[in-house]
Structure formats: structure tokens, C-alpha cells
Amino acid sequence: MNPADIAAAEAIMGIEYTEAERALMLDNLEDQIRRARIRRGVDLGDAPPASTFDPRLPGFAMPHGRGALRLPPVTAPLPQGDTDIAFAPVTHLAHWIRTGALTSARLVEIYLDRIAVLDPKLNAFATVTPDIARAEAAAMDALTLQGISLGPLHGVPYGLKDLFDTRGIVTGWGGEPYADRVPDTDAAIVGKLRRAGAVLLGKTSLGALAYGDLWYGGRTRNPWNTSEGASGSSAGSASATAAGLCAFAIGTETLGSIVSPSERCGTTGLRPTFGRVSRAGAMPLAWSLDKVGPICRTVGDTGLVLSVLNGPDLSDRGSIAAPFHWDATASLDGLRIGYIPDAFARAATDADRAALETAKSLGLETIEVSLPALPYESLLDVLFAEAAAAFEDLTLSGRDDTLTWQDAPAWPNAFRKARFLSAVDHVQLDRLRYRTMQAMDELMTGIDVLIGPWRGADMLIASNFTGHPCLHLRNGFSDQPTRSPGALGGGTPLPTGGPPHRVPHGISLWGNLFDEGPMLSVGRALESAFDVHTIRPEI
């Protein structure tokens, strides 16, 4: 190494030293490189970082001493047609199974038939598990005949994003290097869903290593326009749910991976507060950002599924014990909804502004709020660094070249460039993240729910880095030409041309930390007012 090497590195790092300073650094740098190489020679396995992210600021008080879920009773009779049954809410399906009007076995066959016919057009399932589904459904029906119910998801079939470990079933993470990966154990939420009576239909596709909608099986498609992708990375979970191939699905979000495919496919996606749901046994992308949540067709279903997923787990160092409380029968009286006027001026569509007017018509107190001007986009480098660390061996071994990428920028390039930002910069980014936590706390003080366009990059980035929950639901439709996959961080996808297609449009709600209930209540009221959530895609 010589001073010219250091000077070249400075250009990449965006800093500048003097010739004398470079000369003094030579010996120290050799030691630093030596220590780094020694550390890279150690296989860290699945060890998480010693430092963990906690979204709670000093003085935070956990809302609700006890968890409780209260949903309105189901009175709708079982439909005669299989298609109507397939698209019914989870709450209805569970009620019909519990009362004997429907068997889990029949419901499984309905979904397996739909998968056989429609999934070749959608590419939403990486693996279908018919034998497992039939066996689990038979077991649930046997318990039902004995008057035994395992819980609110008893006998209800679901799809699981293929980054959660399933014992004996391929869990390929969407990437070629892992396409034959078969885990020996189940992820924590898989066991939790099984104990609640849910029936596994199969593993839903995800963009390679949780990026976009392109994976080693091809591109997952949007049921409303199969010429375009479903967006990602929870592409298969959103596509399958929107197309009625399962009752609900599980997704994950690090930065838009539940919200973005829910927007594209017209599903209702719930990203819970960071730490609420265990990630043990899930592919780590960014330990301080990854979150697990349901993708459904109604707001009520997301709350029901989250009530099952909720709970602390010692095997997840980011797990936080928190009660989940939602009374869907309670009045909206007293709830305050905030909005950022600038977001509705800059990034909004007419449908976004109409959604705000609908929210105002609910009789809620409406309050203008603001998000301070901070360089939120800079926080993306935290994600890139954590992801590069999670997949360091993939990068250093050169196996990242086996990944098929058609969308730029791709993960491998992000992993590589992450190595050229200094540790000092990352400490400063961590401090910026704390400032962002303070900014979000100030914004949410005095309101129960925030409404806004999902495309507002500031809120998408800020709320993911602070751990605040988000609910995205359909509020209408728009005529759009076929769109490109879009950019990481919520960039608006560019049209690729062709005739327009009638596709869904959604709006986002954000709630206070560990207090998703008000957000769900407002979402449920908006869902009823919009009255578009039951419209189905014609594939």
C-alpha cells in the first residue's frame, strides 16, 4: 500500500486528506486491513448483531396493559359458489368452519384448484404443499367434529413468504444460490400459526433475497394486469391473496415490501410495529429493520392475523413484549387523524386527495402536522450495510454472480458499494436515525393516526427506520399502462407503454408505536366508505 492507494480510496469515500496525513496512516491501515481479514475468516453462522434496535424513546409507556381483540359477529351465510367462498374474509371462513357450514378440507381443495388454474399465469407460489395442506385440514376438521377449536384461524389455509424456514420444505429466498435450501426446523411464526389451526398451502414467491418481484422462478405477476410484476418483495403473498389463491398470506417489510405489493395488487397489508412479531427462522436482510406482517383482503382480517402472530420470542433479539389491543366494535369518537399538507401537494394523486376528504367525512378531528426536513434518504445506507453483512459470504465468494437480475440497482451491487462507507459515517447515520425517531415521535404526538400517500418517500423511509406501524388499503382504481417494477425506497414505477389497465390504488395509514388499534379502526371505517375492497381481478 502507498499514499496513492489512500488518495484513490478518499475519492470513493468522499473525503480528502493531505499528503502528510496519508503518510502517517500507512502503518495503521495495514493493521486495520489485517484485522478485517482475520475477522472475515470466521464463520459467524446465523449470529445476529450484538447491538439491537429499540423503537422506544426514553419515557415511552407501552399502551394497553392487556391485549384484547374484539371483532363484530359474522352473520353472512355460506355462499354457494366456490369463487365467492375463496374470496370471503378470513373472519367469515373461520366462522363457517367453526359452525360446521364449511370444512377446512373443502376450502383447501377450492384453493388448490384455483392455484392449479391461475398460478401458471401469476407465478405467485414458489412451492405448493398439497399433501401437507390436506393432512392439516383433515386434522382440523377432526377437531371441529369434537367441538375443539385451536383459535381464530382454525382450518383457514394461508400462503407463507418463502423466506420463512419450513422443516423439510424448500425455502429458497428467491435467489439461485439458495434454490435447494431445505431447513431442518420451522420459523417461529410457522409453529405459532400451526398451533392456531392455520393450514399451510405453500410458500409464496419473493423477489431474489427480498428485492422486487423477480426470482429464480421468473417474475410474479399482478392479477389486475398480468403483463406487469406484482412489485415486491412480498410479491407472491400479495398476488396470491388478491387473486383468491389463499385466505391470507404472510409478508415481510424492510423498506416497502408489504406496502408496495399491496398497492400494486390491491391487497390490505399491515406492517406492525418493529419488534412485535418474531423473525426467528426468517431470512435476515436487515436486523434492525425487518418486520413480519399479514397481507389480506380486509382490514379486519389483518387485525385477526396479527393477534395470532403477536408475542415476544427470546430467540429473536429484536423481539419486544407488547400487548395487541383492538376493539373493532368501538366508536371512532375522540380519535384524531393527522395529515402532512405538503405530502398531499407533492406526491399525491387525485385519488389520494379524495381519500383524505373521505377521512375528514368520518367526523374525526383532523390535524395538520409536519415532518422536519432531515436527510431521510441517507438512512438507506444503514439498510445496505446490514444487508451486505447478512450476505457477506455471497459477495466475497463471488456466488452473487449466479443471481439473475433484470432490475437495477440490484442487491449484489448494493452489497459491494456498502463496503465503501466508513464506520464513522455509520455511527453518524445511527445518530441521524435517533433524530428521526424524535421527529416521528413529535409528529405523532397529539394524533392517533396519520394518513398519506404511500409514495411519499420521506414517510416510507422515516417510519420504517423508526419502527412505526403502517396499514395500506385499497381506496379506488386508476387506468395505468403496464408499469416497470419500480425502485427501492418507494420510487414511482415508470410506465412501459401499451394500453391502459384498470388497476388498484391505495392509501396508507400510520399509527403510534405498539398501538395499531386506532389505525385499524380508522382503516376499517375507510374501507367501508371506499367500498371497493370486494371488487375482484379478472384474470
Q: How far is CA 514 from CA 59, 277, 334, 444, in A?
A: 14, 11, 19, 13
| 450 phi/psi in degrees, rounded to 5 | -115, 135
Total Cβ atoms within 10 A of residue 398: 8
Write the DSSP assignment of 399-444 as a string of letters: GGGGS---SSS-HHHHHHHGGGS-HHHHHHHHHHHHHHHHHHHHHH
Q: Is 343 exposed, middle or buried (0-12, 13-18, 19+ CB in 10 A)?
A: buried
User: What is the C-alpha separation between 455 and 260, in angstroms, rounded?
Assistant: 9
Q: Which residues pair with 464 in a beta bridge?
A: none
Joined together, the cell numbers standing for residue 357 give 376528504
Task: List the one residue out of 356, 358, 382 whose CA is nearest residue 369.
Answer: 356
Q: Which of 161, 192, 203, 291 is labelled catalytic?
A: 161
Residues in CB range of 423: below 8 A, 6 or more apart:
none
| 533 phi/psi in degrees, rounded to 5 | -70, -15
Amino acid at 421: L
Q: Which of 239, 257, 288, 521 is labelled catalytic?
A: 257
Tell me, yes or no, if 360 is annotated catalytic: no
Task: List the one residue out of 331, 299, 347 whose CA is nearest residue 532.
Answer: 299
Total Cβ atoms within 10 A of residue 74: 17
User: What is the C-alpha separation between 343 and 240, in angstroms, rounded?
Assistant: 31
Residue 293 in contact with residue 269, Cβ under 8 Å? yes
Tell me, yes or no, if 257 is annotated catalytic: yes
Q: Between helices 299-309 and 90-98, what is the axis angle to 10°?
A: 70
Q: Give yes or no for a cis peptide into 130 (omega within 30° of 0).
A: no
Which value, in Å, is the radius of gyration of the alpha carbons in the chain? Answer: 23
Q: Which of 233, 278, 307, 521 is labelled catalytic?
A: 233
DSSP letter (8 states) at residue 288: T
Alpha helices in 445-490 (DSSP H): 457-466
Q: Beta strand pairing status for 199-204 and 268-271? A: unpaired
Amino acid at 242: A
Q: Give yes or no for a cis peptide into 233 (omega within 30° of 0).
A: yes
Tell me, yes or no, if 233 is annotated catalytic: yes
Q: Is 18 exposed, middle or buried (0-12, 13-18, 19+ CB in 10 A)?
A: exposed
Task: List the one residue out of 95, 133, 89, 141 whose CA is nearest residue 113.
Answer: 133
Amino acid at 97: I
User: What is the C-alpha separation between 10 and 22, in angstroms, rounded?
Assistant: 10
Residues labelled as active-site residues: 161, 233, 257
